[in-house]
Structure 1
Amino acid sequence: MKSVTIAICNYNYERFLADAIDSALAQDYPDTQVLVVDDGSTDKSREIIMSYGTRVRSVMKANGGQVSAYNRALDEIDTEYVILLDADDLLYPNAVTEVMQRFNSGDYAKVQFRLDVISQDGTGTGVTVPHSDAPSDCGTLLRRGWLYPSPPASGNAYKSSALRRFFPIPETTEGRYGADFFTIYGVALVGQVASIALSLGAYRVHKSAPTDVSFANSEKNNKAPKAYAARWGALRYVARNRLNIDLPQSFHDFSHEKAIFCSEVYGAPLIDRWRWFAFDSRNYLHSIVANPFWGVAKKVGTIGLSCLCLVPYAPLSNYVVRFISNPLARRSSAAH
């Protein structure tokens, strides 16, 4: 039987950490190991980790950021496969079993699965991520700059040897976070990706609500574009120097362009909304029209909704932005 490590990278998540560890220990796949890397927590996280004794392997390191924690985790892992579970998320008991069945069905570098979105207190929202499955040969499209649909960090399982082809990631002051960007997209450059259309875990969203314009725990819409650009630049550096692959200067991703769209249009006066659409919406529209992962109906629907932001009625415009950017808003609308 092939061995799997669930590696939990934690920083000051004492409130959720025990649930994450318990979910890892509860896997029904027999050869599952649990590693917890604590990145210099200042709360009671380390006491929680130590309370598990020999049931988990632990690493206590100085704070260096998420990239540093991922680098250390991969140094410690000695199994063939790994799931990098965020310390505030959960895996369902059959997650590793389902993942390994898919790994055994083909030559994959990564198997991804869907996650149920839960609120901070663990309540289900009825939303799952991602909304689309990835094609197996994501690398071909990535070499053209297209970021493929993927769940957040906890919804991905990797072949350890594939990650080590481009890890460790350089640790810089500007690049402390977003480590899952490198695992998710870097791995597509070294092997094929498989998707499981089942929810095998839960992704905890801390601050988003149906009335919010942003969703998930990443940077706010006005900061996300800069962070994405920096990570793409770092991935290009790693791809060129470790894999001898030249990625394009720029990338294409609806989530990235959507963040820009939201920051420019949400709450803006009518004239500014029209001005943005007239002069600055090219990349946003390209990420819809040329999107290789979407069908025609989704493209037409998204463009139609986006154009509603141009009507001279701010409440409707703002609602449309929330509907496009926040899956919780869409779920709330459907419920009513």
Structure 2
Amino acid sequence: MRNSPLVSIIINNYNYQNFIEQSISSALNQCYQNIEVIVVDDGSTDNSRERIANFNDSITTVFKENAGQASTFNIGFKKSRGEIICFLDADDLCFPNKASSVVEILCGVENQNLAWCYHYLLQVQEDGIIDPQRYQPQQPNQETKKVHVMDFRKHIKNGVRPNFVPSTSGLCFKRNVLEKILPMPTKDGILISDMYLKYVAVFLGKGAVFDEMLGIYRRHSNNLYATDIKDKQKIGAGIDTYTSYAFLENFPGLKKLSIKMSSKALAYYLHHTSELQKNKHIIADFFKKIDSFSVIQILISTLYYYFKYYFCNLY
């Protein structure tokens, strides 16, 4: 990889007319000059597209029919040219030093074999315009910056979920690793999130977790995860169901993790049988792909999570 590689910042948007302009501006306003910004609008029905169009040729724009977040990742990556890819949700912001910091990590001589870089985000409760300079933390100097090189491959193969993965706007990858992951599954009715990206990347190679906050995660009334606990659990179970199936189908080395995730989802469905009926087709297909011993493992794990549900939330 070159010392000054092209960095692609891919923004996914759906009905975030109040936030999209500031998100794009934060991506364009990078100290690092060799960037491209790609905005994929997933069939917004508000005024998002008019506001995106105001940026003219300073960005690459894709207007498409609604098909979910995974589809925006797929087409955004296909349109990109960068050797480093950073994802950004349309309601979040980049700090000006994001691209330069990620390049420093992924292109450092000692980090040539890293496949990904995940960084922290500052959470801000704000529905209006955010002044990034007001929130940008004082950056550590070269001596105090901490880059934690992580090789979690053995653990994730054994079914251990990584606990260091951020939301979409904290995900950065080398192009060659995303070429092995994308496109993500996007069939009708599939509920799959960025979890697929970040877990598979951890499975495929070493990476780095950077202790510096390189952006803002905006908490607001329309966040997917701002819903009440019942909705969170339903969404979490759906994501686990479809993601575990996708892991099993595309990355068999993640079989143990798939079993754990599907067991947790099944336990939730046993408490909410109407949701089980909605997802029974994908559950049936999952069981067709595994052996008898794995079925027994799932049944035992499901019982464990089923009783655990009485004492604490599964999602």
Q: Same fold (TM over 0.5)?
A: yes
Instruction: Tell whether 2:235 aligns with 1:250.
Output: no
Q: Pairwise mapping of residues 73-92 of structure 1 onto structure 2 (< 5 A)?
A: 73-92=76-95
- How far 1:170 moved relative to its partner? 2.2
* Structure-2 separation of matches of 1:188 and 1:81: 16
Residues 240, 261 of structure 2: 8 Å contact kept: no
* Structure-1 separation of matches of 2:231 and 2:79: 29
1:66-92 per-residue CA deviation (whole Å, 9 max, x = no partner) reads 111111111111110111100111111
Instruction: Tell whether 2:208 aligns with 1:194.
Output: yes
* Structure-2 separation of matches of 1:53 and 1:120: 27
Instruction: Tell whether 2:47 aligns with 1:44.
Output: yes
* Structure-1 separation of matches of 2:149 and 2:305: 23
- How far 1:206 moved relative to its partner? 2.3
Instruction: Tell whether 2:103 aligns with 1:100.
Output: yes
* Structure-2 separation of matches of 1:222 and 1:11: 21
Aligned to 2:150: 136
TM-aligned CA distance change 1:80 to 1:247, over 3 Å: same
- How far 1:226 moved relative to its partner? 3.2
* Structure-1 separation of matches of 2:160 and 2:217: 24
Work out which of the residue numbers 111, 114, 127 in structure 2 matches 1:121.
127
TM-aligned CA distance change 1:246 to 1:148, over 3 Å: closer
SS class of match (1:27): coil
Aligned to 1:156: 171
- How far 1:208 moved relative to its partner? 9.4
- How far 1:5 moved relative to its partner? 0.5
1:116-168 per-residue CA deviation (whole Å, 9 max, x = no partner) reads 111242679x9x9xxxx976112221111122121001001111121111211
Q: Pairwise mapping of residues 312-327 of structure 1 onto structure 2 (< 5 A)?
A: none
* Structure-1 separation of matches of 2:77 and 2:198: 15
Residues 68, 176 of structure 1: 8 Å contact kept: no
- How far 1:207 moved relative to its partner? 3.7
- How far 1:4 moved relative to its partner? 0.2
1:205 partner letter: R
1:45-73 per-residue CA deviation (whole Å, 9 max, x = no partner) reads 11111110111111111211111111111
2:208 partner letter: A
* Structure-2 separation of matches of 1:285 and 1:110: 37
Work out which of the residue numbers 98, 112, 118 in structure 2 matches 1:112.
118
Instruction: Tell whether 2:238 aligns with 1:226.
Output: yes
User: What stretches of structure 1 of length at least 5 have no aligned partner?
Assistant: 265-278, 287-305, 311-320, 326-336
1:61 partner letter: K
Q: Pairwise mapping of residues 15-26 of structure 1 onto structure 2 (< 5 A)?
A: 15-26=18-29
Residues 166, 239 of structure 1: 8 Å contact kept: no
1:229 partner letter: T
Residues 147, 251 of structure 1: 8 Å contact kept: no
SS class of match (1:165): helix
* Structure-2 separation of matches of 1:28 and 1:285: 52
User: What stretches of structure 2 of length at least 5 have no aligned partner?
Assistant: 138-146, 273-300
1:186 partner letter: V
Residues 4, 32 of structure 1: 8 Å contact kept: yes
2:207 partner letter: V
* Structure-1 separation of matches of 2:158 and 2:77: 28
Work out which of the residue numbers 160, 180, 185 in structure 2 matches 1:170.
185
Residues 67, 175 of structure 1: 8 Å contact kept: no
Aligned to 2:197: 183
Instruction: Tell whether 2:208 aligns with 1:205.
Output: no
Work out which of the residue numbers 3, 7, 29 in structure 1 matches 2:10.
7
